[in-house]
Structure 1
Amino acid sequence: YLQHLCFENEGVKRRVRQLRGLPLLVALLDHPRAEVRRRACGALRNLSYGRDTDNKAAIRDCGGVPALVRLLRAARDNEVRELVTGTLWNLSSYEPLKMVIIDHGLQTLTHEVIVPHSGWEREPNEDSKPRDAEWTTVFKNTSGCLRNVSSDGAEARRGLRECEGLVDALLHALQSAVGRKDTDNKSVENCVCIMRNLSYHVHKEVPGADRYQEAEPGPPGGATGSQRRRRDDAGCFGGKKAKGKKDGDMDRNFDTLDLPKRTEAAKGFELLYQPEVVRLYLSLLTESRNFNTLEAAAGALQNLSAGNWMWATYIRATVRKERGLPVLVELLQSETDKVVRAVAIALRNLSLDRRNKDLIGSYAMAELVRNVRNAQTPPRPGARLEEDTVVAVLNTIHEIVSDSLDNARSLLQARGVPALVALGAASQSVREAKAASHVLQTVWSFKELRGALQKDGWTKARFQSATATAKGPKGAPSPGGFDDSTLPLVDKSFDGEKPGSRDVIPMEALGPDGYSTVDRRERRARGSDPAGEASEKEPLKVSSVAVCS
């Protein structure tokens, strides 16, 4: 009856807490009668649902998390397991509870739910067919819980990465989903988001990362690098090989990389950054119609291609060799803002590979410029790109035209200069105007292009006026509560860093740590569309007799 009263009734929830009913319910999770345990857990699930965090804190303070974990270990009734994991999913949306859940429940959630339901086996029988993942409600709830806690910070990421079997099981579940072409469900979305979060800062945080660090890259070699572009590169975008070229020649043309020799197969957190995961993420980007899954898969590639370590170099090259660049370029046409943003920043990181940079300049420029135009004149009402997305697109354009005369020419051919000038003049955003200005300055710096620019009526003064517009009031904060320190400037060298030395490039500047590539819930506080972002299990509506699903 209490469970029924609490259904979407904030007043009743508050009254239960004030009357100290939560400690009583938590105590009943250890009751000898199974029906009492089930009813108590159902009430806690409804009481823990919603944005009001007071009930979540009260459940924590009376030992609710350890009690729920004990019940999960003991329960064999599927309905009880659904209730327990649903309650933990609700609790995991509360920041102070994330590490509590990891400390008390990670091992149990992994070994009781994620591993067995994923189909992954530690020691598979060579004669038996690999098992498929089971998309049960318990798995969905548990993966949703782990998705939330994986966004908590470095300590949380370390705990999840080092949990035996977790990464292996998540990857197996995703491979199963791709194999069955079942990539749009919530469980897949949760798994990809966890993988994206655990890929954040792998180049800094995983054990032994120092061994794989590479020297800071110098300037990419001026315009001559783009002049080395071969016609065979069109093969990366589905074009035909040049006449007379054999497969071996083509492989050499793609700068075949010698991966480190292994004495045994990669496992655990090592699987996060193996080049083999590229094919999985590209399959998800190709097959899925779930925008949250698309954003997370692109974000995972973004994270893995960041940083100055050997594995990022391999990831960038593997995306090219797996024909992943055209997949990403096509997604720049997405009608979903966050997908465009994630893809744009992934392309920026991937362009740190010179061959990728040349290809992206040739084949992505038109779509990037189209998004700049859409920032001024949306294709439909209410479809204007968010500030973060516009800046991400501009940053990517800047990256691919820097030190590349050919790519700068591609920008001119795509009618990018008029679009950039118009955006800089009309935008109400200081960040957008600044980013557009930096691109224009870079284009003007190519003396070989000034004749063509002047022929089209552009003058140096016009580019300088764009710079002045971008400056804005001295010391003025970025609009929307964003801090430029969490979103890199268009050219990192403006911050005193060497070009190409960037770290992970954010998708969003969220939270005090700027964990832009981990899955954060504060988007709702900023008024973004929460569709598909349910961070909690919906409450249970019950009759006086039975629980209704």
Structure 2
Amino acid sequence: MRGMDMPTAVRYLLESDAGLQVLGAAYIQHQCYHSNDAKNQVRALHGVLALVELFGSDNQEVQRYATGAVRNLIYENADNKAALIDAGGVLSLVNMLSKPDEELQKTITGVLWNLSSRDNLKEKLSKEALSELTEKVLVPLCSRLPLSPSERDVFYNTSGCLRNLSSVNERTRQKMRDMRGLVDSLVSYIQQEDKADDKGLENSLCVMRNLSYQLYAELPPSVRLRLEGPSRASASRESEAIGCFTMYNKKNNERNQNMFILSEVSRQPNGAEWLWHPNMVTLYKLVLQNSDCSSTSREAAVGALQNITAGEGRWAAVLSGVVLEQERLLPILLDLLDTNSASELRPLTGLLRNLARHSTNKDHIAKNMVNILVTKLPSDGLQKTPCSEVVVNICGALNHLVTCSSLAARDVSYFNGLPKLIGIKTSHDNSSGGLKAARAASTVLCNMFQYSKLHRDYKLKGFARRDFTDPTI
């Protein structure tokens, strides 16, 4: 390549001789590794389209160098990504995925992952690459686990692309849930992966977290009916009113529900069913128990648990019971609160809020949870850490407990939660987050005051009725 320049390299791409095509692509790949000017020059010379046309070459070496050049061309260069899309590069790339060449697959999946980082390209990639990535790469790889080092690289790139696509919108989430073999393959990888620091594992957990986002609202009506059973309206005619978020209090309903849960657990899940299956709670627990797992993996596992326990539905309550009673995850979750990372605390406190809502034994949960939650609260609403969203979650969890448990209210007072809640309510910066936190704290205080037997204790600590009620919030 000595003495070559970029116009010559691009011209070589247009030659019929494979040796010259390789030489031109190799020069472009080399020059574009570090130089953004070289990347822009290739685009100006219409080299992107010439490289895309080489994707269809019968010569494997030409394909390798052409895709390698494109990989470097689009790295941190939005204009070249757009040029690749305009040249029909995505379809040309996915057409090569079925070739039995791991090096080529690694480069192609790396390019697709890079493209998927751009929000404005995710929709197009979902349409043009998702099914091929799943059928030609993901499913075949996960059918022959464990993987070789080079296969791991391909899986890492593929799962990274899926991770980006799963975050785009409801339409893409639905498409991915329905994609034959996609969820099954990710679960297989999570089940067999014994390296806690594996990046493919991290990506897989993040995809599972993203696909469980707003899960119950987005499920097909037939599936939702199977999980939720009778509607609230019909259920209320047959059972006691649902109070304090306890579900189906009568023995007959409990027996029917337990039989349904048993049938769901014993039945082998398929496809998207894994997202809400109780066995996934066990897998997420293993991740949380492994201190060698990355913080991102733990965050994803907690986020998935938060998603599948969210809302007032019956199945969210069922899975909350699995978390608390079957897997006994509460101590592990409370230990994870020992962090100042907002990205970790948001899903964690959200999950604890869900568990507090669905717990059928509020007194027991309160004994374990109240002290630690109160400790995480800031002294007032002006503190920046933890963030307002975390404060709202903590207050929400406390409120679910306090509403149904005088012991919870007593413990909030005993562990000096009153000054903090009053501080959050009265001292804030009038921002949207600050006002939400103030309202959440005010709700907890209002419900704490419902227990007249605790009024004397409140008074001894120096608090009066006005501290617990505030019509302006």
TM range, smaller chain: 0.7 to 0.9
- Tell me which of 195, 205, 211 is aligned to 2:225: 211
Aligned match of 2:18? none
SS at match of 1:7: coil
Alignment correspondent of 1:456: 461
Cα distance in 2 for residues equivalent to 1:422 and 1:343: 23
Is 1:55 aligned with 2:59?
no
How many Å separate the matches in 2 of 1:370 and 1:257? 40
State the identity as a percent.
34
Aligned to 1:30: 56
Q: Indicate conservation of the 8 Å contact 1:26/1:67, yes or no.
A: yes
Verify: 1:440 aligned to 2:445, yes or no. yes
SS at match of 1:458: coil
Task: Say if 1:347 and 1:360, in contact at 8 Å, map to a contact too.
Answer: no
SS in 2 for 1:402: helix
Q: What's the counterpart of residue 200 of structure 1? A: 213
Match for residue 114 of structure 1? Answer: 138
C-alpha separation in 2, matches of 1:340 and 1:156:
27
What's the CA shift for 1:256? 5.5
Equivalences for residues 77-476 of structure 1 within 5 A: 77-118=101-142, 120=143, 131-132=145-146, 136-177=152-193, 180=194, 182-207=195-220, 208-212=222-226, 213-214=228-229, 215-216=231-232, 221=243, 258-259=260-261, 261=263, 265-288=268-291, 289-320=293-324, 321-355=326-360, 357-373=362-378, 384-428=385-429, 429-464=434-469, 468=472, 471=473
Q: 1:315 to 1:459 in 2, by over 3 A?
A: same
| One-letter amino acid of the counterpart of residue 102, structure 2 | N
Q: CA deviation at 1:264?
A: 5.7
- The number of residue pairs the alignment matches comes to 422
Distance of 1:276 and 1:432 partners within structure 2: 35
TM-score (norm 2): 0.81
Distance apart, 1:404 and its partner CA:
2.5
Give the root-mean-square deviation of aligned CA atoms: 3.0
Q: CA deviation at 1:371?
A: 1.2
Distance 1:222 1:293, change over 3 A: closer
How far does residue 427 in structure 1 lie from its aligned partner after superposition?
A: 3.8
**Cα separation, 1, equivalents of 2:370 and 2:85:** 51
Q: Which has the higher helix share?
A: 2
Q: 1:46-77 CA deviation, whole Å, 9 max, x = no partner?
A: 22222x53332222222111111112222x33
TM-score (norm 1): 0.70
CA gap 1:8/1:456 in 2 versus in 1, 3 angstroms: farther
What's the CA shift string for 1:76-121, capped at 9, x where partnerless? 3322211111100011112232232222222322233222333x47
Structure 1 residue 460 displacement after superposition:
2.1
- Measured in 2, the distance between the counterparts of 1:361 and 1:327 equals 16
The CA distance in 2 between the partners of 1:375 and 1:22, in whole Å, is 57
Three-state SS of the structure 2 residue aligned to 1:373 is: coil
- For the structure 1 residues 366 and 264, does the alpha-carbon distance in structure 2 shift closer, same or farther, using more than 3 Å as the test? closer
How far apart are residue 449 of structure 1 and its match? 2.2
Q: 1:374 to 1:331 in 2, by over 3 A?
A: farther
Distance in 1 between residues matched to 2:261 and 2:327, nearest whole Å: 16
Contact 1:304/1:315, CA 8 A, preserved across alignment: yes
Contact 2:379–2:420, Cα closer than 8 Å, also in 1: no
- CA–CA separation in structure 2 for the residues paired with 1:291 and 1:326: 18
Q: Unaligned stretches of 5+ in structure 2?
A: 1-26
**Structure 2: how far apart are the matches of 1:310 and 1:222?**
14
Q: Secondary structure at the match of 1:152?
A: coil
In structure 2, relative to structure 1, the CA distance for the partners of 1:356 and 1:101 (3 Å cut) is farther
Q: 1:61 to 1:279 in 2, by over 3 A?
A: same
Aligned partner of 2:219: which letter? V
> Structure 1 353/61 Cα, relative in aligned 2: closer, same or farther at 3 Å?
same
SS of the residue aligned with 2:217? helix
Q: CA deviation at 1:452?
A: 1.1
Does structure 2 retain, via aligned residues, the 8 Å contact 1:306–1:349? yes
Shift of 1:426: 4.1
